[in-house]
A and B are shown apart, each in its own frame.
Chain A
Amino acid sequence: MAAAAAGAGSGPWAAQEKQFPPALLSFFIYNPRFGPREGQEENKILFYHPNEVEKNEKIRNVGLCEAIVQFTRTFSPSKPAKSLHTQKNRQFFNEPEENFWMVMVVRNPIIEKQSKDGKPVIEYQEEELLDKVYSSVLRQCYSMYKLFNGTFLKAMEDGGVKLLKERLEKFFHRYLQTLHLQSCDLLDIFGGISFFPLDKMTYLKIQSFINRMEESLNIVKYTAFLYNDQLIWSGLEQDDMRILYKYLTTSLFPRHIEPELAGRDSPIRAEMPGNLQHYGRFLTGPLNLNDPDAKCRFPKIFVNTDDTYEELHLIVYKAMSAAVCFMIDGGPVKFSFEYCCSASHSKMNLTGIFCHDLPASVHPTLDFCRRLDSIVGPQLTVLASDICEQFNINKRMSGSEKEPQFKFIYFNHMNLAEKSTVHMRKTPSVSLTSVHPDLMKILGDINSDFTRVDEDEEIIVKAMSDYWVVGKKSDRRELYVILNQKNANLIEVNEEVKKLCATQFNNIFFLD
């Protein structure tokens, strides 16, 4: 078993060992059609990180990737190579849009040992990285780019290669710094969404709130609602929500935690007449509504790119632990029927239909932001405390908070629901896990096994160090359990997992 070899040693040499985690070596995007002839190879390269690399080396690396992909295609025309394993690194290939290739090169983790003569010996750990994890990271890079920039093709249509290169440079320059390859794991494969558990009545209240807000702020096209960084409602389609959720929970929300903790955002704008005291504030857009020069610039996002290709402004507004995302039409105004009808009064309806001379794109103004703040703020504040109260009641009812004998990760491919008691709170830098990386690797291996077959199956692994790891797959759901029971045998472990399923998953059809 691979994990056994990597088990943290406790021998006399352990102290002299130095470990280096996997790291990003390079990341590039190219399109072979852009420089098909000799001497034009440079034109293929749309983005290359690190930029300092000498031009010829860039061309060589791109050429190599191209060759590998072409070569492997002869064996499997529909599924060309996804990754290339070498002693020192691994390369991951992804073709998110036709002829646009993204390549990520990751250095294998290194252990530096002291040999007997005192010289350092470097040992590359070739088998440590999981293909699925890093392929997923690469795909996520594209999804994130697309969320904020639209497709590569769209950039080409809007302003040719030049614009595309600019956008790629602007986006990936910053994004790659946030990758943290050393802490990628099973959760990156899933790209799941954590849903906030809620009783029906509170959920309906939230529904009612969202519908009312969409009615009174009649330019809102979609709404998403989160509590405690967990999703409660998404008006967006699943795939778009998946990446937006990733952005919100790993980037936007963590950035705003610190000001919250510092108490800088206590109830505000009490001085504004007619405003009820509330805790609402914008996480995107204007920081201070009283400042007449406040900028009302909201990030643009692109959704439904395979279909209607919508350009939206993302307004994220938060009160206490409740965050609501309003997405309003940000592209050129299309006079779809639905747009006209989103007005709540029949009079507005008429202006919608007859008034063709609207500005080319709707921009949320400061007035709009103030209106939003005055309507949403007080209601969201009340709702947030309702949810909090309900959550505490449920927690009390579910009984003692005894530290369980197991940790688990659950994922449902159908609704992307993800639950992990392995991971601690996400921070912008790393996702902390409470178990040893070796165990995480076993989970990844089990997941790879699951991917190979379509049928339901169950895998039980006895790891070194007294841990049992159990993977179960049933009708597009996966459950991974890590048990720490000394001297337990297979039957007992099986019983434990059955018990866990009966308590945690009794309301779904999950075969034992």
Chain B
Amino acid sequence: MGEEDYYLELCERPVQFEKANPVNCVFFDEANKQVFAVRSGGATGVVVKGPDDRNPISFRMDDKGEVKCIKFSLENKILAVQRTSKTVDFCNFIPDNSQLEYTQECKTKNANILGFCWTSSTEIVFITDQGIEFYQVLPEKRSLKLLKSHNLNVNWYMYCPESAVILLSTTVLENVLQPFHFRFPPKQAGTMSKLPKFEIELPAAPKSTKPSLSERDIAMATIYGQLYVLFLRHHSRTSNSTGAEVVLYHLPREGACKKMHILKLNRTGKFALNVVDNLVVVHHQDTETSVIFDIKLRGEFDGSVTFHHPVLPARSIQPYQIPITGPAAVTSQSPVPCKLYSSSWIVFQPDIIISASQGYLWNLQVKLEPIVNLLPDKGRLMDFLLQRKECKMVILSVCSQMLSESDRASLPVIATVFDKLNHEYKKYLDAEQSYAMAVEAGQSRSSPLLKRPVRTQAVLDQSDVYTHVLSAFVEKKEMPHKFVIAVLMEYIRSLNQFQIAVQHYLHELVIKTLVQHNLFYMLHQFLQYHVLSDSKPLACLLLSLESFYPPAHQLSLDMLKRLSTANDEIVEVLLSKHQVLAALRFIRGIGGHDNISARKFLDAAKQTEDNMLFYTIFRFFEQRNQRLRGSPNFTPGEHCEEHVAFFKQIFGDQALMRPTTF
């Protein structure tokens, strides 16, 4: 297995903390993603490290007993510590507020606090075995105010900070889940709303064992913007399923929870789940490998649930060397390989892996480059890549690769890839357009419906494809020109199919390639069917081709005519061809003959050395002068003295038009 094969890796810079040991307790807060190392109950120090803040927070607190749970409120404003099953202690970390601890006891009689979650910088939820209590902390008063509470029997709970949903396990089988959602209207006290409860179907189990839903088998994560409850359903010997599966329950903001997806693991044993870049990653400890699932990829739909198989073959996370830091390491030996899939690993959502015994917190990451070679189906590969955050360069490299000589894909495959790219591109363009229209229509910018569309990396526009793929591709001498042209046409076809206006540099690329291979007749046909859209640059390019291919002149003039904004250019072209009369007739035809420069036309007529033509043109302007100014004479500003002299020289003074006098 080459190194390029691993598609999962641990982040390069883990959060490092003091290993857990009898005097050092380690806690992890999912909301702030902070690790707390509490030495001797805090008496010899608490060190808090988050993934973003490289400066750890250190403080001391009195050892008032064993710490069960410790968390900062959002923005590290207030520290909450649970030391007993009835109370939680608070300590302000706000400047100018008293740092004296204050305590809150749970309201419900005889209840035991299972834990607590901060839902904002000053709001906290206590979860007890008899329900939940929602408090507002008033740090300046060093007291708490109960906002709301709800009674029910709770076995265990789970909190998803991203969506602010708490899930409570109730009933004997523990499999009825009650979600609560917390909202924070700005500058008001938060609200707590109860969502419809739902039941997780437990697999049939032998009668001797009591089935129950374990907290370990449930996870909550946001996938493609939607909240899902992930249930790891273990293989049961009684059913004929081929292995464990992950069942995804969609938990909408409104409405009931619905079973949507089933991820088939096809293996049994111990699993752990992560969600990275909207992919569900399932780690398997027995084989020390992981698989990934993408619920947006096409699966088998049975009418209510979609079944998915791993996108890629199972692979281990890329082997990881423990970085050696600190003075002790300077002299020591080479980096130590880290034991992956260790039983001391603890996994948190969405992408966190903690090794408490080693003192590391990693973010799990997906590497896209190796996947390119693991997914032979280019269409599926594109579907997969287009959903990933950092996909742009990988997709461009896939495009380049499929056009390379050694890995050349067939035209239908190339067409599929282009269509998928342009589908994404078109979606973005449409969103941009409707946004622009809404803004124009005067909708207020603050309207929640009016959001400027976000351009993700999956939006690959024409200039991306041109710059990174096509311009290099057409330069490849070894490529048969037929293939080059076919690819360019396929891309243009795809753009047209999605009604995306094709940029002229793509057309220029086609023309360049055709001209290089002397395929002028092909070019002519493309232009005849307007495959290469009209534009001034294109018309000029065609003009420059006239010496190689005479019909290019006609094509260019036609194009200028259709543009209808290029009348000056048409006149210039005709004059340069000494078609003075044609130029004059054209400009008269469009009613522009009162504004043209007489000198320009007389110059061109003189150059033809055709005296009769010169006479005609001269007479035309004399008549114009007469009509516009009542006199056939040219004004000094027209700078036609030279031509008047020339006219007199050839035809004599008497040939000049006489002013009409009454």
Contact = CB atoms under 8 A, between A and B. Distances in A.
Interface string A324-361: 00000000000001100110101000000000000000
A203 B529 contact: yes
A508 to B, nearest CB: 5
A415 interface: yes
B137 to A, nearest CB: 63
Contacts of A195: 528
B490 interface: yes
B489 A475 contact: no
Given A201-B496, A341-B483, A342-B480, A207 B489 contact: yes
The listed residue with most A CB atoms (<10 A of its CB), out of B485, B490, B492, B554, is B554
Contacts of A201: 493, 496-497
Interface string A198-226: 10110111011001101110000000000
Contacts of A198: 529
A204 B531 contact: yes
Given A215-B411, A512-B585, A512-B589, A204 B492 contact: yes
Nearest to B553: A475
Interface string B478-522: 001011011001101100110000000000000000000000011
B236 to A, nearest CB: 43
Interface residues of A, number: 39
Nearest to A337: B480
Contacts of A208: 411, 415, 489-490, 493
Interface string A477-491: 100000000000000
A215 B560 contact: no
Contact of B480 (A212, A338, A507): A338
A238 B521 contact: yes
B412 interface: yes
A238 B412 CA distance: 29
Interface stretch (B34-42, B161-169, B360-368, B402-410): B402-410
A344 B530 contact: no
B362 to A, nearest CB: 41
B521 A237 contact: yes
Interface string B408-438: 1011100100000000000000000000000
A509 B560 contact: yes
A417 interface: yes
A64 B555 CA distance: 46
A205 B493 contact: yes
B492 A509 contact: no
Nearest to B492: A204
A508 B558 contact: yes
A214 B551 CA distance: 28
B558 A417 contact: no
A509 B415 contact: no
A201 B528 CA distance: 13
A234 B528 CA distance: 12
A341 B561 CA distance: 41
B575 to A, nearest CB: 14
Contacts of A254: none
A415 B493 contact: no
A235 B551 CA distance: 18
Contacts of B560: 509
B557 interface: yes
A397 to B, nearest CB: 16
Contact of A511 (B486, B529, B562, B586): B586
Interface in A220-247: 233-235, 237-238, 241
Contacts of B589: 511-512
A453 interface: no
B443 to A, nearest CB: 33
B486 A215 contact: yes
Contacts of A456: 582
A208 B570 CA distance: 34
B561 A507 contact: yes
A417 B528 contact: yes
A342 B493 contact: no
A215 B562 CA distance: 35
B525 interface: yes
B599 interface: no
Contacts of B480: 337-338, 341-342
Given A235-B522, A344-B410, A415-B551, A207 B557 contact: no
Contacts of B529: 198, 200, 203
B558 A507 contact: yes
B521 to A, nearest CB: 5
A509 B558 contact: yes
A477 B492 CA distance: 30
B530 to A, nearest CB: 6
Interface of B: 405-406, 408, 410-412, 415, 480, 482-483, 485-486, 489-490, 492-493, 496-497, 521-522, 524-525, 528-531, 550-551, 553-555, 557-558, 560-562, 570, 582, 585-586, 589
Given A207-B531, A456-B582, A509-B558, 9 more contacts: A200-B531, A208-B493, A211-B411, A211-B490, A215-B410, A241-B521, A342-B482, A415-B524, A512-B589
- Rank and list the top 9 A-B pairs by shortest CB-CB distance, nearest first: A211-B486, A414-B551, A341-B480, A204-B493, A509-B557, A509-B561, A203-B529, A508-B558, A212-B411
5 contacts: A198-B529, A234-B525, A341-B482, A341-B483, A509-B557
